[in-house]
Amino acid sequence: MSCILKVTDVCVHLATENGSVRAVDNASFSIGEHETFALIGESGSGKSILGLAVMRLLPDNAVFSGDISLAGTSLTVLSEKEMQKIRGKTIGSIFQNPYLSMNPGIRVGDQIAEPMWTHLEMTKEAAREKAVSLLERFSIVPGKTRGREYPFQYSGGMLQRAMVAMGTAANPQLIIADEPTKGVDSLKKQEIAETFRRVAAEGCAFLLITHDIDFAKAMANRIAVNYCGEILEIAPTEMFFEEPLHPYSAALLDSLPERGMHPIPGPSPSMIEVPDGCRFHPRCSFADNRCRTEKPPMTETNGRSVRCWKYA
Amino acid sequence: MTELRKYLRNRQIMISLIILGALICMALFADVLAPYDYTIKDLSERLQAPSLAHPFGTDQLGRDILSMAIYGARASLSVGFIVVGVSLAIGLTLGILAGYYGGWLDEVIMRLTDSFLAFPSMFLALAITAFLGQGIENMILALIIVEWTSFARVARGATLDIKSKGYMHAARWVGGSNTYIMVKHLMPNIVSPVLIMATLGIGNVILAAAGLSFLGLGVQPSTPEWGAMLNAGRTYVTTDPYLMIFPGLCIMITVLAFNYFGDGLRDVLDQKMNKTELEGRI
């Protein structure tokens, strides 16, 4: 399987008044064509920063190192102008809250047409027509009249679908979806999953950034577990839910309501003064001396990788 | 159409719109509306009290005051619109740039506006016209110099507010360039506070222009202008007060109409602030 996105040794540190926040440390993974890759983790574990790093939209105080390449070309060396051509064209995006992510003053149809006329050299009329057919494909009918309406005239679910239509308008090869199910009830969640599957079926790869484990389970081919700025485990979805290797992954799954809701003891560590050795050791029941002092390497075991001394 | 009706249902807007419409017509069709040619000086008719022939009376040179007041609308309104138009363009551009990019650019632009705002605006305008010399062009320039800062402030504030909105981030994520985002996504969304500022600003500018002309720094005495007419009538205020009453009323009605219009607009656009708060943001 050839890969569409390859992230190698990416570190993002954010300079703040209180010190350097190690938002992403030594992140390496790759996403294959047509693959849905989910990055799961607690709030504040650096997931979204990784998405921003791929888009090269990191805040000014971020220090970036490592390499991100898209279909073989490195994104880190591109100019801002070249990057603008990739955003929305090769890499599409789907946002958290459709009410906040759609401009209230522009007609929905025009907002969907926008990436097409900026990226695909379409005329405005052609782009508008395409937008109408996109709306209808996402069951917003009649597309022509609906396209002329403003976001406030849409229901939440419709707007979510319209936003997916906007994110996928320019036929991207990869879509980054950052917390698409945040603040959404479970029925709506199924609807989103359904829409995503339709897009994925057309051969689009997904980078799903979420703390919603159920959603990740329903959508993803592979799952990466992010904790305190580090990826601790990457595994195919079924294997991950059958047998999580890393103690944190296991603890995370045990904290789900259907598995008895056992909380992970202890607080999340500071992202500025990260624990020595394994970042999970203060909360890990298997931790020994080596875990406290030496950082475990990423170890590959039959198709999955894990960062834990138990498997090193 | 329903949009338009929403504006017209507001009584403040309705009344002020009628008055402003009448004033604009007065300025545009002064040649047709004025009963006399204001350049005709007839000393035998000087200082006539209001009568049927001269509803507003005549001045010390025998010119018809009604005709002068009608022509005066031209000077006042054009000064108001030109000054606010240019200040708006400058202030909006600089304010958006400062708010959008932030950092040192913001710092430079805002400290510049602060330094202008440190002086009372009328005093600064006076000093500038005194420095540049008397005349309508210099007065317009002076008023623009003092007026643009408030637009820059309001535009920057509104930009900072809109900048943090999700759709601004979304526009970056789908590959919009900075210019495109500012023009297409930012400007339409900050238009309402700026529009209100502009309407209120026209009233202020007309008042300031009349003030400068009254002091003899603005319009030349030969061209009819309300402020200059006030100044000319000053000598006769005890004997022939109508020389000052009518131009004064014109100024008052115009400024009030613009203020009313701005207030009404604010109510309709649902800006949750009153005029003093808006001015407090400057």
Residue-wise pLDDT for A45-76, tens only, equals 888 889 889 988 888 888 999 999 998 889 98
Backbone angles phi, psi at B41, to 5 degrees: -105, 120
pLDDT at B216: 83
Report chain B residues whose CB lies below 8 A from the CB of A165. Answer: none
Indicate the SS3 state at residue B170: helix
The 10 Å Cβ neighbour count of residue B123 is 10
Q: Are the C-beta atoms of residues B155 and B109 closer than 8 Å to each other?
A: no
Q: List the beta bridge partners of residue A21.
A: A14
Indicate the SS3 state at residue B86: helix
Lowest-pLDDT choice from A172-181, A283-292, B124-133, B271-280: B271-280
Q: List the beta bridge partners of residue A10.
A: A27
The residue that leads in pLDDT, A297 or A183, is: A297
Give the predicted TM-score (pTM) of the model. 0.78
Q: Are the C-beta atoms of residues B219 and B74 closer than 8 Å to each other?
A: no
| Residue located via tokens 């720094």 | B217
A205 φψ region: left (φ > 0), alpha (ψ -120 to 50), beta (else): beta
| Residue located via tokens 């599409």 | A92
Q: Are the C-beta atoms of residues A91 and A175 closer than 8 Å to each other?
A: yes
Mean pLDDT of chain A: 88
Amino acid occupying residue B21: G
pLDDT at B277: 52
**Hey, what are B113's tokens?**
């506006």
**What distance in Å separates the CA atoms of residue B39 and residue B71, rounded to the nearest whole number?**
11
CA angle A22, A27, A28 (to 5 degrees): 170
Nearest CA to CA, how far is A92 from chain B (Å)? 7
pLDDT at B282: 45
The residue among B2, B104, B163, B167 with the most chain A CBs within 10 A of its CB, best to mutate, is B167
Asked if B189 and A104 come within 8 Å (Cβ–Cβ), the reply is yes
Nearest CA to CA, how far is B193 from chain A (Å)? 15
**What distance in Å separates the CA atoms of residue B18 and residue B25, rounded to the nearest whole number?**
10
Indicate the SS3 state at residue B113: helix
- Using a pLDDT cut of 90, give the percent of chain A over it: 23
**Hey, what are B267's tokens?**
């109510």
pLDDT at B91: 94
pLDDT at B278: 52
Amino acid occupying residue A276: D
Instruction: For residue A142, say if its preceding peptide bond is cis, omega within 30 degrees of 0.
Output: yes
The 10 Å Cβ neighbour count of residue A164 is 25
Lowest-pLDDT choice from A188-202, A220-234, B136-150, B199-213: A188-202
Report chain A residues whose CB lies below 8 A from the CB of B3. Answer: none
pLDDT at A95: 82
Indicate the SS3 state at residue B55: coil
**What distance in Å separates the CA atoms of residue A257 and residue A167, rounded to the nearest whole number?**
33
Mean pLDDT by runs of 10 across the 282 residues of chain B is: 71 89 90 81 77 80 86 90 95 94 92 90 87 87 91 92 86 85 89 88 90 84 83 85 89 92 82 51 46
| Residue located via tokens 């008397």 | B134
Query: CA nearest B172: which of B161, B193, B186, B159?
Result: B186
Q: How many angstroms separate the Cα of B7 from the Cα of each of A65, A104, A105, B12?
A: 55, 20, 18, 10
**What distance in Å separates the CA atoms of residue A157 and residue B274, rounded to the nearest whole number?**
37
pLDDT at B47: 78
DSSP letter for each residue of chain A: --EEEEEEEEEEEEEETTEEEEEEEEEEEEEETT-EEEEEE-TTSSHHHHHHHHHT---TTEEEEEEEEETTEESTT--HHHHHHHBTTTEEEE-S-HHHHS-TTS-HHHHHHHHHHHHS---HHHHHHHHHHHHHHTT-SSHHHHHTS-GGGS-HHHHHHHHHHHHTTT--SEEEEESTTTT--HHHHHHHHHHHHHHHHTT-EEEEEES-HHHHHHH-SEEEEEETTEEEEEEEHHHHHH---SHHHHHHHHTSGGGT--PPSSPPPPSSSPPSSSTTGGG-TT--HHHHHSPPPPEEETTEEE--TTT-
**What distance in Å separates the CA atoms of residue A54 and residue A12, rounded to the nearest whole number?**
11
- Using a pLDDT cut of 70, give the percent of chain A over it: 100
pLDDT at B99: 93
Which chain A residue is nearest to residue B186, measuring alpha carbons? A103
**Hey, what are A170's tokens?**
């320019």
Q: Are the C-beta atoms of residues A105 and A150 closer than 8 Å to each other?
A: yes
Q: Which helix (H) or strand (E) holds B20?
A: helix B11-28
Question: Considering only CB atoms, which residues of chain A are within 8 Å of chain B?
Answer: 55, 57, 60, 81, 84-89, 92-93, 95-97, 100-106, 114-115, 118-119, 166-167
Q: Over range A242-265, report the average pLDDT.
A: 88
Size of interface A-B (CB pairs under 8 A): 60
Length of chain B: 282
Q: Which long-range contacts (CB under 8 A, 24 or more apart) does A269-276 make?
A: A269/A228, A271/A21, A271/A22, A271/A23, A271/A44, A271/A46, A271/A228, A271/A229, A272/A16, A272/A18, A272/A19, A272/A20, A272/A21, A272/A22, A273/A19, A274/A22, A274/A25, A274/A228, A274/A229, A275/A228
Of the candidates A60, A89, A102, the beta carbon closest to that of B175 is on: A89
